[in-house]
Amino acid sequence: LAQGLPPVQSCCPLLAAMGIGRDSRHKHYKTGGRSKTSIKKRKYEMGRPATPCKLGAKRVRSVRCRGGNMKYRALRLDSGNYAWGSENVTKKVRILDVVYNATSNELVRTKTLLKNTVVQIDAHPFMQWYLKKYGVDVGKKKKGAKEGEKAEDEQKPGRHVVAKQKARAAKQKLDVGLEDQFQSGRLLACIASRPGQCGRADGYVLEGEELAFYKKKLEKKKKN
Protein backbone atom coordinates (compact mmCIF):
# COMPACT_ATOMS: atom_id res chain seq x y z
CA LEU A 1 0.00 0.00 0.00
CA ALA A 2 1.09 3.56 -0.72
CA GLN A 3 2.08 5.65 2.25
CA GLY A 4 -0.43 8.17 3.59
CA LEU A 5 -3.54 6.11 2.71
CA PRO A 6 -6.00 5.22 5.53
CA PRO A 7 -6.04 1.54 6.73
CA VAL A 8 -8.47 -0.75 4.88
CA GLN A 9 -11.61 -1.41 6.92
CA SER A 10 -13.70 -4.60 6.87
CA CYS A 11 -16.08 -4.66 3.90
CA CYS A 12 -18.80 -6.11 6.15
CA PRO A 13 -18.78 -4.51 9.63
CA LEU A 14 -21.82 -6.61 10.67
CA LEU A 15 -19.69 -9.80 10.66
CA ALA A 16 -18.05 -8.74 13.90
CA ALA A 17 -21.43 -8.47 15.66
CA MET A 18 -22.96 -11.65 14.31
CA GLY A 19 -24.42 -14.16 16.74
CA ILE A 20 -27.34 -16.45 17.36
CA GLY A 21 -30.54 -14.43 17.72
CA ARG A 22 -34.13 -15.43 18.38
CA ASP A 23 -35.79 -12.25 17.09
CA SER A 24 -38.27 -12.16 14.20
CA ARG A 25 -37.57 -8.62 12.96
CA HIS A 26 -35.10 -9.84 10.35
CA LYS A 27 -37.65 -12.18 8.74
CA HIS A 28 -39.67 -11.59 5.59
CA TYR A 29 -43.41 -10.98 5.63
CA LYS A 30 -45.67 -13.70 4.23
CA THR A 31 -46.00 -11.53 1.12
CA GLY A 32 -42.21 -11.47 0.69
CA GLY A 33 -41.54 -7.93 1.90
CA ARG A 34 -38.93 -7.06 4.50
CA SER A 35 -39.47 -4.93 7.58
CA LYS A 36 -37.17 -2.03 8.35
CA THR A 37 -34.93 -2.69 11.34
CA SER A 38 -35.99 -0.04 13.82
CA ILE A 39 -33.98 -1.38 16.76
CA LYS A 40 -30.71 -3.25 17.16
CA LYS A 41 -30.18 -6.68 18.66
CA ARG A 42 -31.15 -7.12 22.29
CA LYS A 43 -29.49 -9.36 24.83
CA TYR A 44 -32.83 -10.92 25.85
CA GLU A 45 -33.10 -12.25 22.25
CA MET A 46 -29.73 -13.95 22.48
CA GLY A 47 -29.31 -17.66 21.69
CA ARG A 48 -26.45 -20.08 22.40
CA PRO A 49 -24.87 -22.77 20.21
CA ALA A 50 -26.17 -26.30 20.75
CA THR A 51 -23.88 -28.61 22.76
CA PRO A 52 -25.27 -32.16 22.57
CA CYS A 53 -24.52 -34.46 25.50
CA LYS A 54 -22.55 -37.64 24.71
CA LEU A 55 -22.20 -40.93 26.55
CA GLY A 56 -19.04 -40.84 28.68
CA ALA A 57 -17.48 -39.92 32.03
CA LYS A 58 -19.49 -37.14 33.73
CA ARG A 59 -18.65 -33.62 32.56
CA VAL A 60 -21.09 -30.76 33.33
CA ARG A 61 -20.60 -27.02 32.82
CA SER A 62 -22.65 -24.26 34.44
CA VAL A 63 -24.02 -21.37 32.33
CA ARG A 64 -25.18 -18.09 33.85
CA CYS A 65 -28.49 -16.97 32.34
CA ARG A 66 -30.75 -13.92 32.44
CA GLY A 67 -31.70 -12.89 35.96
CA GLY A 68 -28.76 -14.70 37.54
CA ASN A 69 -30.38 -18.10 36.96
CA MET A 70 -28.19 -21.07 36.15
CA LYS A 71 -28.34 -23.79 33.52
CA TYR A 72 -26.24 -26.91 33.74
CA ARG A 73 -24.91 -28.01 30.37
CA ALA A 74 -24.04 -31.73 30.43
CA LEU A 75 -21.29 -32.51 27.92
CA ARG A 76 -20.78 -36.14 29.03
CA LEU A 77 -22.95 -38.39 31.22
CA ASP A 78 -22.82 -42.09 32.07
CA SER A 79 -25.53 -42.53 34.75
CA GLY A 80 -28.92 -41.27 35.89
CA ASN A 81 -31.97 -41.91 38.08
CA TYR A 82 -34.49 -44.21 36.40
CA ALA A 83 -38.00 -44.98 37.65
CA TRP A 84 -39.76 -48.34 37.34
CA GLY A 85 -43.29 -46.96 37.16
CA SER A 86 -45.39 -50.08 37.84
CA GLU A 87 -43.28 -50.93 40.92
CA ASN A 88 -43.02 -47.32 42.13
CA VAL A 89 -39.24 -47.51 42.65
CA THR A 90 -36.33 -45.41 41.38
CA LYS A 91 -32.66 -46.38 41.25
CA LYS A 92 -29.45 -44.68 40.14
CA VAL A 93 -28.11 -46.83 37.30
CA ARG A 94 -25.40 -46.79 34.62
CA ILE A 95 -26.34 -45.90 31.04
CA LEU A 96 -24.77 -48.60 28.87
CA ASP A 97 -25.73 -47.68 25.30
CA VAL A 98 -27.93 -45.52 23.05
CA VAL A 99 -30.20 -47.69 20.91
CA TYR A 100 -32.91 -45.49 19.33
CA ASN A 101 -33.71 -41.86 18.58
CA ALA A 102 -36.78 -40.86 16.57
CA THR A 103 -34.99 -37.80 15.12
CA SER A 104 -31.99 -39.38 13.46
CA ASN A 105 -29.86 -42.53 13.41
CA GLU A 106 -26.84 -40.22 13.42
CA LEU A 107 -27.64 -39.40 17.07
CA VAL A 108 -27.58 -43.13 17.86
CA ARG A 109 -24.25 -43.62 16.06
CA THR A 110 -22.63 -40.76 17.99
CA LYS A 111 -24.26 -41.94 21.29
CA THR A 112 -25.92 -38.57 21.91
CA LEU A 113 -28.16 -38.27 25.00
CA LEU A 114 -31.25 -36.13 24.40
CA LYS A 115 -34.76 -36.02 25.81
CA ASN A 116 -36.87 -39.00 24.64
CA THR A 117 -33.81 -41.01 23.55
CA VAL A 118 -34.16 -44.76 24.16
CA VAL A 119 -31.14 -46.14 26.03
CA GLN A 120 -30.02 -49.41 27.58
CA ILE A 121 -29.43 -49.27 31.34
CA ASP A 122 -27.90 -51.67 33.87
CA ALA A 123 -30.67 -53.88 35.33
CA HIS A 124 -28.77 -55.11 38.43
CA PRO A 125 -29.93 -52.41 40.91
CA PHE A 126 -33.57 -53.25 40.05
CA MET A 127 -32.86 -57.01 40.24
CA GLN A 128 -31.39 -56.64 43.74
CA TRP A 129 -34.41 -54.58 44.86
CA TYR A 130 -36.84 -57.14 43.39
CA LEU A 131 -35.05 -60.01 45.17
CA LYS A 132 -35.23 -58.15 48.49
CA LYS A 133 -38.93 -57.29 48.15
CA TYR A 134 -40.35 -60.45 46.54
CA GLY A 135 -37.67 -63.07 47.23
CA VAL A 136 -37.49 -63.85 43.49
CA ASP A 137 -34.25 -63.63 41.51
CA VAL A 138 -35.56 -62.36 38.15
CA GLY A 139 -32.14 -62.32 36.49
CA LYS A 140 -31.33 -66.04 36.75
CA LYS A 141 -32.81 -69.10 35.07
CA LYS A 142 -33.46 -72.23 37.16
CA LYS A 143 -30.53 -74.62 36.84
CA GLY A 144 -31.70 -77.46 39.11
CA ALA A 145 -29.99 -78.89 42.19
CA LYS A 146 -26.67 -77.04 41.90
CA GLU A 147 -28.35 -73.66 42.26
CA GLY A 148 -30.36 -74.97 45.22
CA GLU A 149 -27.13 -76.03 46.99
CA LYS A 150 -25.63 -72.57 46.45
CA ALA A 151 -28.77 -70.94 47.83
CA GLU A 152 -28.53 -73.06 51.01
CA ASP A 153 -24.98 -71.86 51.64
CA GLU A 154 -26.11 -68.23 51.53
CA GLN A 155 -27.65 -66.60 54.58
CA LYS A 156 -31.41 -67.14 54.51
CA PRO A 157 -33.93 -64.49 55.69
CA GLY A 158 -36.17 -65.19 58.70
CA ARG A 159 -39.53 -66.96 58.47
CA HIS A 160 -41.46 -63.73 58.98
CA VAL A 161 -39.59 -62.05 56.08
CA VAL A 162 -40.12 -65.09 53.82
CA ALA A 163 -43.87 -65.09 54.61
CA LYS A 164 -44.11 -61.37 53.69
CA GLN A 165 -42.19 -61.94 50.44
CA LYS A 166 -44.44 -64.85 49.45
CA ALA A 167 -47.59 -62.81 50.14
CA ARG A 168 -46.27 -60.00 47.92
CA ALA A 169 -45.14 -62.40 45.17
CA ALA A 170 -48.59 -64.03 45.06
CA LYS A 171 -50.15 -60.71 44.00
CA GLN A 172 -47.28 -59.73 41.70
CA LYS A 173 -47.11 -60.41 37.97
CA LEU A 174 -43.97 -59.35 36.11
CA ASP A 175 -44.27 -58.08 32.52
CA VAL A 176 -43.01 -60.77 30.08
CA GLY A 177 -41.06 -58.17 28.09
CA LEU A 178 -39.23 -57.03 31.23
CA GLU A 179 -38.55 -60.60 32.36
CA ASP A 180 -36.72 -61.34 29.09
CA GLN A 181 -34.63 -58.19 29.52
CA PHE A 182 -33.70 -59.05 33.12
CA GLN A 183 -32.13 -62.28 31.79
CA SER A 184 -29.69 -60.20 29.71
CA GLY A 185 -29.00 -57.75 32.56
CA ARG A 186 -30.04 -54.73 30.46
CA LEU A 187 -33.30 -52.76 30.41
CA LEU A 188 -34.66 -50.40 27.76
CA ALA A 189 -35.39 -46.97 29.20
CA CYS A 190 -36.36 -43.53 27.95
CA ILE A 191 -34.69 -40.25 28.97
CA ALA A 192 -37.26 -37.80 30.34
CA SER A 193 -34.98 -34.92 31.42
CA ARG A 194 -33.07 -32.45 29.25
CA PRO A 195 -29.33 -33.06 29.75
CA GLY A 196 -28.36 -29.79 28.06
CA GLN A 197 -30.54 -27.72 30.41
CA CYS A 198 -30.42 -29.46 33.82
CA GLY A 199 -27.21 -31.49 33.51
CA ARG A 200 -28.92 -34.83 34.21
CA ALA A 201 -30.06 -37.83 32.17
CA ASP A 202 -32.96 -39.15 34.26
CA GLY A 203 -35.87 -41.17 32.89
CA TYR A 204 -38.07 -44.23 33.24
CA VAL A 205 -38.01 -47.94 32.38
CA LEU A 206 -40.04 -48.84 29.29
CA GLU A 207 -42.86 -51.34 29.86
CA GLY A 208 -46.23 -52.39 28.45
CA GLU A 209 -47.38 -50.92 25.13
CA GLU A 210 -44.57 -48.39 25.00
CA LEU A 211 -41.96 -51.16 25.32
CA ALA A 212 -43.69 -53.17 22.56
CA PHE A 213 -43.72 -50.07 20.32
CA TYR A 214 -39.98 -49.41 20.66
CA LYS A 215 -39.12 -53.11 20.30
CA LYS A 216 -40.89 -53.13 16.92
CA LYS A 217 -38.94 -50.01 15.90
CA LEU A 218 -35.64 -51.65 16.88
CA GLU A 219 -36.46 -54.88 15.01
CA LYS A 220 -37.38 -52.86 11.91
CA LYS A 221 -34.11 -50.95 12.21
CA LYS A 222 -32.10 -54.22 12.39
CA LYS A 223 -33.77 -55.57 9.22
CA ASN A 224 -32.92 -52.42 7.31
Report the candidate in 162, 164, 188 with the shortest Cα–Cα distance to residue 177. Answer: 188
Percent of the chain surpassing pLDDT 70: 84
Model confidence, pTM: 0.79
| Contact call for residues 22 and 47 (beta carbons, < 8 A) | yes
| Mean of pLDDT values over 58-65 | 95
Average pLDDT over the chain reads 85
Query: Which residue did the predictor score with more confidence, 29 or 151?
Result: 29
Reduced to 3 states (helix: H, G, I; strand: E, B; else coil), residue 212 is helix
| Mean of pLDDT values over 141-159 | 58
Inter-CA distances, 62 with 19, 21, 74, 79, Å = 20, 21, 9, 19
Whether pLDDT at 145 is above 50: no
pLDDT at 203: 96
Q: What is the pLDDT of residues 97-132, one digit of tens each?
A: 999 999 999 999 999 999 999 999 999 999 999 888
Whether pLDDT at 64 is above 50: yes
| Mean of pLDDT values over 181-191 | 93
- Residues 185, 188, 190, CA angle at the centre, nearest 5°? 145
Report how far residue 187's alpha carbon sits from residue 144's, in angstroms, rounded to the nearest whole number.
26
| Contact call for residues 78 and 58 (beta carbons, < 8 A) | yes
